[in-house]
Copies of this chain bind each other. A is one copy, B any other.
Amino acid sequence: MALDSLFAPETVAVIGASRSTEKIGHEVMANLRTFEGDVYPINPNSEGELFGREFHASVDDVDAEVDLALVCVPAPVTPDVLEECGEAGVGGALIYAGGFAEAGDNGEELQAAVTDVADKYDITLLGPNTSGYLVPEIGLYTHFVSEMDRVAPGDVAVVAQSGGVGTALAFQAISEQRGLSAMVGLGNRADVGFERLIEYFDQDDETNAIVLHLEGTDDARGLLETCESVDTPVAVYKVGKEDVNEFAASHTGALTGDHALYEGGFRQHGVVTAESTTELLDIGETLACAAESGGPNVGVVTAQAGPGIIAADRLQAASANLPSFADTTTETIHEILPGITFEGNPVDTGRPMPEFSDVVEAVAADENIDVVLVYQVYEPAVGFYGEALTSIPDQTGTPVLFATNGPEDEIREGLADLEAAGVPAFPSVERGADAAAAVVEYARRQAKLAQDGHDGGDY
């Protein structure tokens, strides 16, 4: 596939590689230290080695076939540099520089020149005007911000229209100790845009959910239809409720369009929406393992009533159902905890206790329940019962989400372990409830799609 030259290259050339630590060409070389393939720094004015790789004067001098060129030169010389790449048979190129379509008439001409060269040589182009991308699984960190190699491999692909927002999302993944299968900052989308990336990551074995940061696109219908056509769940954070067009156009050359039309489109085409960068990653992490829940019915188990009320309130406000449990479930809960505080849905166990996970298992096994949200305030003295939950999704076929509050430095590792074991985990009750609501909304929109498309949905 053409996009393999970007996301599965074996040989990478860094054009404009530099010893000067101020330059992007240095930071990009530094971030490639973890890459498993061959790396060639290209600079006609440099000799010797950089990070143990020998400088070449031009991409044409490289003996091997170059899959990917990372173009770290200013906008005006980019068309010529890309021409050299084309002649050398390079398959894909990433252009970092700004000063193209986002920068007025001259920039638009320059961008047209770049796409002409890319077309002529069939080069797959990412950018211009972006900060790069990450494929942690193969150690490929083309991003010009350092420390991006702290993003671990995972199963969520992030596609951000803005490089800055992509960077923010990658840092958030680091903070939450969540892995990503990829993070791509699109920039001006002179060639590769949302649709091709969605289709590519849908085919990617490592990717189980795709999340998008979207400012605007000329072909909203094409984007929506692509989202609908793929099997992998897609979530989107659409910016531009208000009129921010002047600023947005100066950024990536795109207008933000009619927000209500986009919202309606996402609803119709089976895409769930997020209201923040934080929520976008939360939904990605959740859908990657809970998209198959298949229904709108949430069971809530809490060890503290106050946060449980918040969860129930927030879930209902988001149109989730909190159905009554089957009689057998209520009986089982009574057997486990004879003096239970509140035995409805939510179940309130009063405090965390060793039997906590047994209650969760009973709720997850209930035929009325499609997804379970568990909340427990972290209590240093009595411990953290999250660990006992990890076998429940496989045993019962019902996804389990976990939310807690505790000192960040004490709970973070535990939350990351839960997520690694297939239980999405959140450091506040609201984030957990919003993630469970997204699972419900995804199920509802997919069911509607199935009904509309095949006249056969069943709720």
CA distance A381 to B251 in the complex (A): 23
Closest CB in chain B relative to A150 CB, distance in Å: 6
* A contact residues, range: 35 or more
**Chain A 408-426 against B: per-residue CB contact (8 Å), 1 yes, 0 no?**
1110100000000000000
Q: Are A168 and B429 in contact (CB under 8 A)?
A: yes
Number of copies: 2
A229-267 interface code vs B (CB 8 A; 1 in, 0 out) = 000000000011111101110111000000000000000
Given the complex of chains A and B, what is the CA–CA distance between A406 and B174 in angstroms? 8
Given A145-B377, A307-B165, A310-B165; A407-B171 close (CB under 8 Å): yes
Say if the beta carbon of A21 comes within 8 Å of chain B.
Answer: yes
State whether the Cβ of A451 lies closer than 8 Å to any Cβ in chain B: no
Contact A312 B242, beta carbon cutoff 8 Å: yes
A191 beta carbon closer than 8 Å to chain B: no
> Please, how many angstroms separate the alpha-carbon atoms of A63 and B412 in the complex?
47
Return chain B residues, CB-CB under 8 Å to A348: 247, 250-251
Instruction: Check if A277 sits within 8 Å of B428, measured CB to CB.
Output: yes
Q: Is B168 in contact with A317, judged by CB distance below 8 angstroms?
A: no
Q: Is A405 an interface residue (CB 8 A)?
A: yes
Bound form: Cα–Cα A409–B171 in Å: 11
User: A116 CA to B241 CA in the complex, in Å?
Assistant: 56
Contact for A306 among B160, B306, B307, B410, CB less than 8 A: B160
Tell me the A1-42 residues at the B interface (CB within 8 Å): 21, 27
Contact indicator per residue, chain A 312-354, by CB within 8 Å of chain B (1) or not (0) = 1110110000000000000000000000011010101010000
Among residues of B, the one whose C-beta sits closest to the C-beta of A275 is B430
User: CA A344 – CA B427 in complex, angstroms?
Assistant: 37
Identify A251's interface contact among B160, B277, B305, CB under 8 A: B305
The 9 closest A-B pairs by CB, nearest first: A162-B306, A164-B304, A175-B408, A242-B316, A168-B405, A251-B305, A165-B306, A164-B306, A276-B430
